[in-house]
Amino acid sequence: MKQRTLCIIKPDGVSQGVAGKILARLEAAGFTILGLKMIHLSKREAESFYSVHRERPFFGSLTDFMSSGPSVVLVLEKDGAIASLRELMGATDPAKAAEGTIRKEFATDVEHNVIHGSDSPESAAIEIPYFFSSLELHSR
């Protein structure tokens, strides 16, 4: 069944100049890009997006990082998109990520891990409209 997920190429991926390589990997993995744009989150926008982590010790550094530069946000679609993207991304800690994953190849550490993907259909349902209106999404 076709499923949608949010994907973010984080500020470190953009600043490293690997956003195009990551996009190519996503397309090669069979994802259809339904929406894509470059944004620069404010600190407040990053805090709102990551509000589920507000009580976690890394919240401040996460939101500082996510508001430190531009990101590329995408809506991706394919059968089992959420699990498929998470597998392609690899473990949050690139040192523990499997060979061939995006984080193993491009991430530098747990906080600078180049990519975000929704972790559940419920998260995707909240995350996608945070960045995209229905008018901005191409449907196939």
Could you tell me the residue ranges of all domains in the chain? 2-132
Query: What length is written for the chain?
Result: 140
pLDDT at 132: 97
List the structure tokens of 22.
């990551």
53 is catalytic: no
The CA distance from 11 to 79, in Å, is: 28
Regions of the chain short of the pLDDT cut 50: none
The CA distance from 1 to 81, in Å, is: 9
pTM for this structure?
Answer: 0.95
The CA distance from 36 to 138, in Å, is: 10
pLDDT at 64: 97
Catalytic entry in 40, 53, 116, 138:
116
| % of the chain residues with pLDDT over 90 | 96
pLDDT at 140: 64
Architecture of domain 2-132: 2-Layer Sandwich (3.30)
pLDDT at 8: 98
Question: Torsion over CA of 60, 15, 4 and 118, rounded to 10 degrees?
Answer: -30
